[in-house]
């Protein structure tokens, strides 16, 4: 019954807001100084229940609309067991690896493993169905880091347990070849650009456990409890959203255990870009599609 | 006042639905045969007003939920003035064009123009800021054609006024190099696969005008009337959604004139993948994030 009453309240607020926005905004402009802005965001962060958060978002969104302030949202995201690595030692001598390295004017061990190039070489590789798909990380980065409203604090955990931190100021290259070049540089020098003190991408010295001592992780998995994606937008800054960065198969059991919560956002099996689109769409909808 | 009353009604239905779903679904399973399904979709298509459509969607979504039928949605989309073409005659002799063609073992005139390869060659090209970005078409195709709920009937209109029809059964290659290979094949043989009677992608003999005698076009442009993206999901099958398939600049004046409606779905300037994510997210939200 509590849920029903909460919804009743939310819908009533909704009716009021619709009415208010429809008939009142024309005459209201900037009657509050911008300095009240942090006040409201901290109120939002303080609200622990999802109901209060929803209420806060709606209120702030309408306030923003009235004041013509552009709304924003911040998410913490980690791509887990990402299929991103340099060519492993076992297959360095394979002709497809050597030819590709020669064409790129690199040492074979400095090139990125890619199943579309190294298909035959990868035949006997351990867990091969989860490896060699840098394109997944590329499209995820482009989708997560180009939204003007939803800003993402992004980490990439690789299949080899490296933890990569991506600066949210990065403009990820849209071109795949350029992205591969960037990743080759990252694995060779540990950061991009190699000489920078505030790099755009960096291989950290932390482990996944170190990161998860700072955040609680909500893992997106088909086996999780069914929720709608707006649940993820409302979680708050102590949470990090864990998405699979691999094409097929399932999370390692260790990853399952590390998660504080396991949820599923669809009845369908979604690909990584589909999951990200739903999260970004849902968060944008919550702040009124600014 | 009409809008206010409509919203009041919708919210009331929302409260009822929430209550109904919360307390009743456990005991309801498959009490209607699947054959009632087309009945409801045609009811939905018949409803001309956006209010009735919204109502229909909510009702059908809840019915689907009760019956455990998976909801779906169909959109017509056209990418306009897409930055997808083979290298034009003017720059066929440029070293970067020749080298790339040699590497791909193709004739220079059969390779795809790509600014990340042909940057210097394109320096004097007409409308160069709108050309040579096949990556935009690639990421748009992947996002539009991999959603399990929203099915897209996709056309690609190129900067050279070719009209390409994409079969909705296609599984677009995730790898950029493979996509480029596919496009080279398309421009060489007019269809992919070259021998097929029911090709996955085909250069049609139609013009944009021919297509727009069949559909009414809603053009997404910064200069359009501000709407939320769900507006596009509710339009119905006689409409086609026109998106820019180029990186910078504006639509050709001719394209503006051909549109029946011009709308904007954000206060921000969005990139093509951002626009598509919002549309897909919004349509999925309308059918209850299945």
For residue A19, list chain B residues with Cβ-Cβ distance below 8 A.
4, 7
Is A249 marked within a binding site?
yes
**Residue B285 touches partner A, C-beta closer than 8 Å:** yes
For chain A, which domains are there?
2-69 (no CATH), 74-83+132-286 (3.40.1280.10), 89-130 (no CATH)
Per-residue pLDDT band at B267 (split at 50, 70, 90): confident
Q: Are B116 and B136 in contact (CB under 8 A)?
A: no
Paired sense of beta strands B150-158 and B191-192, if any: unpaired
pLDDT tens, residue by residue, B147-206: 998 999 999 999 999 999 999 889 999 999 999 999 999 999 999 999 999 999 999 999
Cα torsion through A164, A170, A175, A180, rounded to 10:
-30
Look at residue B265 in the predicted model and tell me its pLDDT. Answer: 94
**A121-125, B168-172, B285-289: least confidently modelled range:** B285-289
Instruction: Establish how many alpha carbons lie within 13 A of residue B2's alpha carbon, considering only the half-sphere containing its beta carbon.
Output: 2
The angle that helices A50-67 and A2-24 make with each other, rounded to 10 degrees, is 0
Q: Nearest-CA residue of chain A relative to B6?
A: A15
pLDDT tens, residue by residue, B44-87: 444 444 455 555 655 665 565 555 555 678 899 999 999 999 99
For residue A11, list chain B residues with Cβ-Cβ distance below 8 A.
11-12, 14-15
Nearest CB to A281: which of B136, B267, B281? Answer: B281
Contact map slice: B 210-269 vs A, CB within 8 A:
228-229, 265-269
CA A281/CA A147 separation, integer angstroms: 10
Distance set, CA A235 to CA A63, A266, A287 (Å): 21, 18, 14
Category of A161 on φ-ψ map: left (φ > 0), alpha (ψ -120 to 50) or beta: left
Q: What is the DSSP string of B262-276?
A: EEE--SSPPPHHHHH
In angstroms, what separates the C-alpha of B38 from chain A's closest C-alpha? 22
ipTM: 0.78
Percent of chain A with pLDDT over 70: 76
CA A10/CA A234 separation, integer angstroms: 15
Nearest CB to A139: which of B142, B229, B276? Answer: B142
**Residue B42 touches partner A, C-beta closer than 8 Å:** no
Locate tokens 């909705």: which residue? B168
Known binding-site residues of B for S-adenosyl-L-methionine equal: 244, 249, 265-270
pLDDT tens, residue by residue, A41-60: 444 444 444 455 555 655 66
Listed in sequence order, the residues at least 6 apart from A258 whose beta carbon sits closer than 8 Å to its beta carbon are A208, A209, A212, A217
In angstroms, what separates the C-alpha of B209 from chain A's closest C-alpha? 32
pLDDT tens, residue by residue, A137-183: 999 999 999 999 899 999 999 999 999 999 988 999 999 999 999 99
For residue A114, list chain B residues with Cβ-Cβ distance below 8 A.
175
Which of A15 and B231 is assigned the larger pLDDT? B231
The per-residue pLDDT of chain A, averaged, comes to: 82
**Total Cβ atoms within 10 A of residue B287:** 20
Contact map slice: B 60-119 vs A, CB within 8 A:
70, 103, 114, 116
**Residue A7 touches partner B, C-beta closer than 8 Å:** yes
Listed in sequence order, the residues at least 6 apart from A59 whose beta carbon sits closer than 8 Å to its beta carbon are A40
């Amino acid at each position: 019954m509590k849920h029903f009453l909460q919804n009743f309240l939310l819908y009533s607020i909704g009716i009021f807001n619709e009415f208010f926005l429809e008939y009142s905004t024309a005459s209201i402009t900037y009657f509050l100084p911008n300095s009240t802005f942090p006040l409201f965001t901290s109120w939002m962060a303080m609200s622990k229940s999802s109901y209060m958060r929803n209420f806060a978002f709606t209120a702030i969104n309408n306030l923003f609309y009235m004041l013509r302030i552009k709304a924003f949202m911040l998410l913490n995201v980690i791509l887990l067991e990402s299929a991103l690595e340099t060519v492993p030692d076992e297959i360095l001598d394979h002709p497809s690896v050597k030819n590709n390295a020669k064409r790129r004017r690199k040492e074979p061990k400095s090139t990125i493993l890619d199943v579309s190039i190294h298909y035959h070489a990868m035949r006997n590789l351990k867990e091969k169905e989860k490896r060699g798909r840098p394109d997944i990380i590329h499209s995820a980065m482009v989708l997560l880091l180009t939204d003007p409203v939803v800003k993402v604090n992004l980490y990439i955990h690789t299949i080899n347990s490296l933890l990569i931190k991506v600066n949210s100021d990065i403009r990820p290259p849209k071109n795949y070849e350029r992205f591969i070049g960037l990743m080759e540089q990252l694995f060779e020098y540990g950061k991009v650009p190699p000489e920078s003190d505030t790099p755009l991408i960096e291989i950290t010295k932390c482990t996944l456990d170190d990161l998860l001592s700072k955040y609680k992780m909500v893992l997106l998995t088909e086996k999780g409890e069914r929720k709608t994606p707006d649940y993820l937008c409302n979680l708050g800054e102590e949470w990090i959203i864990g998405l699979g960065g691999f094409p097929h198969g399932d999370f390692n059991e260790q990853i399952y255990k590390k998660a504080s919560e396991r949820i599923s956002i669809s009845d369908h099996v979604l690909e990584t870009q589909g999951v990200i689109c739903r999260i970004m769409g849902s968060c944008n909808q919550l702040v009124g599609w600014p």
